[in-house]
Amino acid sequence: MNKKSYLSLLNNILLLLFYQSNAQNGVTLSDVHKSKTRQIAWRLLTMYNGFFTQQSCKNTPSSIISNSTYSRIIEWIRSLWQRCTKLLFPNSSNLSDVAYEEIIMPQYFESKNIETTAGSYLSTQYLHDRFGLARRDIDSVLPITSNILKYKDVELQLTDAIAQEPRWPTECKVIQERVNHIDYIPPLPEPYYVSTGREPKPKPVGEEFGTVIFNYSPISATNYFSRSCSGGTTVLSSSNSISSCLGDLNNVNDNFNNISSKNQNDLEFESRFESGNLEKVIKITDSYYQLHLRRDMYTQRHMQWFYFRISNTKSHIIYRLSIVNFCKEDSLYNDGLRPLLYSTKDATMHAVGWRRCGDNISYYKNDSSDEEREKHTLTFNITFPHDHDTVYLAHCYPYTYTDLQEYLSAISNNPIKSRFTKLRLLCRTLAGNNVHYLTITAPNCNEEGRKKKGIVITARVHPGETPSSWMMKGIIDFLIGESNQARELRERFIFKLVPMLNPDGVIVGNNRCSLSGKDLNRQYRTVMRESYPSVWHTKLMIRRLMEECGIAMYCDLHAHSRKHNIFIYGCESKRANCCGKLTEQIFPLMLHKNAADKFSFENCKFHIEKGKEGTSRVVVWLMGVQNSYTMEASMGGSTLGSRNGTHFSIQDYEQIGKSFCETLLDFSDDDPTKEKLRNKILVRLIKEGSSADEPTNINLTDYSRLK
């Protein structure tokens, strides 16, 4: 798209906003204005549909749909069109029907032999020929709309289209149903599995030793992301029959042509839903199934996260499941971690949600020597609670992109919370999914507002680390709550929260990467805005906030698959004086005091390891934020106090978010008594020889006894 066409498009958007805002404010539009608005809306609609119908044309460049700038504009246009038709045209449905009949179809582009440069079909000449836009009109709007292109206008992006349908790579197939899970808190902490040392360790076998009953591997001819669409290319019925898995055998995106006919007693597997991950299932016997996880899309590795559905269960059979292609050498499954199970019948009849399951659990290295990379197997017995039930199994408590959209929408629609909570669109991902951020702060006069510093918290850069989303939810729930502590935090700080940095990876069920095929938490030193939009825009937001008011703390929320407890990684201050050295350890130590049965100060590390230079924690620290942290929550549980040997629940993850906020209040309190206390803690840390690699725990049961 050339600059003139781009600016003309944006000018039409601005005009439409102008007319719409007048109408919303009670200004009666003249017939001329109404006519002008209709013309603009029709132009925008046709541009929008032309943009996407072009995707089916041959020789269309793949870069068009993957460009986050273009996709952001098009989504903006679509939302404006929908709002404008509802506002100005009572019979909008009929108008839409007429408008769609006027859409330029792909055949038109083919017949005109449109050039294959990105956006060429929206060139100045094309706009002039098709819509009657005079060249002089296009030229005249350049001064009006040029500021839109400046980065400082990022917040002008549309923010009210919160509940956007997930956008998937076009090679993905998705079942057409919303997977819902009820909230549930176990009555007691669920204990770890205790190994007997006699657990069976079956060796993985090939397809020739069994029957393939599920095989889903979305294939891209180029093995890199090129296009996306809402809901996936083919929307399937919710039936899990073999016929629904077969699809079109001539389609390169299908990989079901080796599935054998279904036995009515077989378990039925499915993972083609949001955040699902299961690639292949081989039935070895009536009670033993071998499972393979899908790699992160456009990569050859990162098999760790799993989340899939099983139907046609039998309660009297002890099944054994073996997931045979984990990539990590070690796992908490060796230390008692048990998988999660969700029974739809238990949820309906007993209001019981996710709970731990499995017996005879073992995690071990495969013997195969011809593998390019070593693989590992998780094997366990499982007994299902009901016959003919539909159950879900997961590595940890799922939290999907749709879950987040619904949560944010509820906050925005709350008339009380919206007074101090603002939702904004940070950017769009490669696939065109929303990356939102929340600003939470008490309304202040300008003078008071200048005294506030910023707190920036991000989460879910790694899609498989779902505890980070639950911790973020705990933080948000606390900050928008009605407690005196929450009010005081809102009065004291400006909170900028990015709940999901990698929605593309979350949607497709990746474990670590985005659709770029890269780990986003190694890209914070990059300047590649189009490849890593959420990283680039987060850095921009942080830089602006530092210039405007300064940042008191940054924290990136993660989860850990090989360590117990909750802990923090920080950045060591190497200044020798007491005012600088070890100051980064004060907040984690205070958090340990507030959550002693979950958070371990001794597990914390403050040394910057080689290979971590591109992480958000280190880059933000280098930008000048001294208290820059990564908080890791175990996917297993705790080894501390009364919670020793028990799994974390959703409530535990949310609770640590609350404890984080409470600790922040103590840590930032400028009361002389609290300041004196923090100084005592620092002196004690230095005296006890605390270091970046081996922080020394100090008993803070009674603050007043510190000397």
Can you spell out the DSSP letters for 502-561? -HHHHHHT-SS--TTSS-GGG-TT---TTTSHHHHHHHHHHHHHHHHT-EEEEEEEEEES
In a domain, 159, yes or no: no
At residue 552, the pLDDT reads 97
Whether residue 615 is predicted with pLDDT greater than 90 in this model: the reply is yes
In a domain, 421, yes or no: yes
At residue 554, the pLDDT reads 98
Q: List for the chain the helix, strand, coil content (%; round to 5).
A: 40, 15, 45
In a domain, 592, yes or no: yes
**Digit-coded pLDDT (tens) for 9-21:** 555 555 555 555 4
Alpha carbon of 129 to those of 2, 121, 247: distances in Å?
A: 16, 11, 42
**CA–CA separation, 455 and 440 (whole Å):** 10
At residue 95, the pLDDT reads 34
At residue 370, the pLDDT reads 57
The residue to which tokens 């050859």 are assigned = 300
- pTM of the full structure: 0.77
Say whether both 104 and 209 belong to one domain.
Answer: no
At residue 668, the pLDDT reads 95
Ramachandran class of 326: left when φ > 0, alpha when ψ lies in -120 to 50, beta otherwise = beta
Mean pLDDT of 89-112: 32
Structure-model confidence comparison of residues 92 and 328, the more confident one? 328
At residue 176, the pLDDT reads 82
Confidence band for 226, pLDDT divided at 50, 70 and 90: confident
At residue 126, the pLDDT reads 41
> How many other C-beta atoms are found inside a 10 Å radius of the C-beta of residue 538?
26
Q: Which of 203-212, 315-324, 371-380, 422-431 has the least mean pLDDT?
A: 371-380
% of residues, the chain, pLDDT over 70 = 69
- Give me the catalytic one of 268, 465, 584, 632: 632
Say whether both 619 and 519 belong to one domain.
Answer: yes
**CA–CA separation, 193 and 360 (whole Å):** 8
Say whether both 130 and 232 belong to one domain.
Answer: no
At residue 596's C-alpha, the angle toward residues 636 and 511, to 5°, is: 25
The residue among 372, 394, 416 that closes a domain is 394
In a domain, 379, yes or no: yes
The residue to which tokens 């942080």 are assigned = 542
**CA–CA separation, 35 and 634 (whole Å):** 60
**Digit-coded pLDDT (tens) for 405-458:** 999 999 999 999 999 999 999 999 999 999 999 999 998 765 555 689 999 999
% of residues, the chain, pLDDT over 90 = 59
Close Cβ partners of 610 (under 8 Å, ≥ 6 residues apart): none
Element (H, E) at 341: strand 340-343
Q: Which of 111-120, 141-150, 601-610 has the least mean pLDDT?
A: 111-120
Close Cβ partners of 228 (under 8 Å, ≥ 6 residues apart): 65, 66, 71, 167, 168, 169, 170, 430, 431, 432
Say whether both 388 and 408 belong to one domain.
Answer: no
At residue 546, the pLDDT reads 94
Alpha helix segments (H runs only) across 413-500:
446-451, 467-479, 484-492
Long-range contacts of 110-114 (CB under 8 A, 24+ apart): 110/57, 110/58, 114/54, 114/57
The residue among 342, 360, 394 that closes a domain is 394
Closest CA to 511 of 261, 297, 316: 297
Closest CA to 325 of 353, 296, 294: 294
Say whether both 145 and 206 belong to one domain.
Answer: no
**CA–CA separation, 633 and 557 (whole Å):** 8
> How many other C-beta atoms are found inside a 10 Å radius of the C-beta of residue 650?
21
In a domain, 206, yes or no: yes
Domain of 530, CATH number, reads 3.40.630.10
Say whether both 29 and 140 belong to one domain.
Answer: yes
Q: Which of 5-14, 97-106, 691-700 has the least mean pLDDT?
A: 97-106
The β-bridge partners of 363 are 378
Q: Write out the two tokens for 184.
A: 């549930």
Mean pLDDT of 176-202: 94
Mean pLDDT of the chain: 79
**CA–CA separation, 53 and 105 (whole Å):** 6
Domain of 338, CATH number, reads 2.60.40.3120
Q: Which of 240-254, 480-494, 564-578 has the least mean pLDDT?
A: 240-254
Structure-model confidence comparison of residues 344 and 245, the more confident one? 344
The residue among 86, 115, 149 that closes a domain is 149
In a domain, 698, yes or no: no
**CA–CA separation, 636 and 626 (whole Å):** 30
Whether residue 50 is predicted with pLDDT greater than 60 in this model: the reply is no
Whether residue 695 is predicted with pLDDT greater than 70 in this model: the reply is yes
The β-bridge partners of 628 are 554
Mean pLDDT of 85-104: 36
Q: Write out the two tokens for 365.
A: 């290295």
Say whether both 219 and 258 belong to one domain.
Answer: yes
At residue 373, the pLDDT reads 74
Alpha carbon of 488 to those of 451, 662, 665: distances in Å?
A: 14, 10, 8
**CA–CA separation, 162 and 116 (whole Å):** 33
Check: CB of residue 120 under 8 Å from CB of residue 50: no
Q: Write out the two tokens for 78.
A: 């679509």
At residue 219, the pLDDT reads 79
Long-range contacts of 350-357 (CB under 8 A, 24+ apart): 351/182, 351/184, 352/184, 353/181, 353/182, 353/183, 353/184, 354/181, 354/184, 354/394, 354/397, 354/650, 355/184, 355/186, 355/190, 356/190, 356/647, 357/382, 357/393
Whether residue 477 is predicted with pLDDT greater than 70 in this model: the reply is yes
Q: Which of 34-48, 58-72, 74-88 has the least mean pLDDT?
A: 58-72
Say whether both 178 and 316 belong to one domain.
Answer: yes
| Residue 476 CA neighbour count, 13 Å, CB half | 29
Whether residue 129 is predicted with pLDDT greater than 70 in this model: the reply is no
Alpha helix segments (H runs only) across 399-483:
401-412, 446-451, 467-479
**CA–CA separation, 347 and 566 (whole Å):** 29
Say whether both 450 and 541 belong to one domain.
Answer: yes
Structure-model confidence comparison of residues 639 and 672, the more confident one? 639
At residue 327, the pLDDT reads 93
Closest CA to 311 of 412, 391, 396: 391
Element (H, E) at 135: helix 135-140
Confidence band for 186, pLDDT divided at 50, 70 and 90: very high
Close Cβ partners of 673 (under 8 Å, ≥ 6 residues apart): none
Q: Write out the two tokens for 402.
A: 């749709």
3-state class (DSSP) for residue 83: helix
Whether residue 358 is predicted with pLDDT greater than 60 in this model: the reply is yes
Confidence band for 623, pLDDT divided at 50, 70 and 90: very high
Mean pLDDT of 307-325: 97
Confidence band for 372, pLDDT divided at 50, 70 and 90: low
Structure-model confidence comparison of residues 501 and 42, the more confident one? 501
Do the strands 319-326 and 376-382 form a parallel or antiparallel pair, or are they unpaired? Answer: antiparallel
In a domain, 64, yes or no: yes
> How many other C-beta atoms are found inside a 10 Å radius of the C-beta of residue 117?
13
**CA–CA separation, 275 and 307 (whole Å):** 7
Say whether both 316 and 465 belong to one domain.
Answer: no
At residue 389's C-alpha, the angle toward residues 388 and 391, to 5°, is: 145
Q: How many separate domains does the chain show?
A: 3
Using CA atoms of 354, 357, 362, 367 in order, give the dihedral in degrees to the nearest 10: -70
Whether residue 51 is predicted with pLDDT greater than 70 in this model: the reply is no
Say whether both 574 and 426 belong to one domain.
Answer: yes
Q: Concatenated DSSP letters for 285-317? A: SSSEEEEEPPPPTTSS------EEEEES--TT-
At residue 342, the pLDDT reads 98
Whether residue 117 is predicted with pLDDT greater than 60 in this model: the reply is no
The β-bridge partners of 282 are 212, 290
In a domain, 154, yes or no: no
Say whether both 348 and 444 belong to one domain.
Answer: no
Owning domain of residue 482: 401-668
Catalytic, 177? Answer no
Beta strands in 383-433 (DSSP E): 391-394, 421-428
Whether residue 400 is predicted with pLDDT greater than 90 in this model: the reply is yes
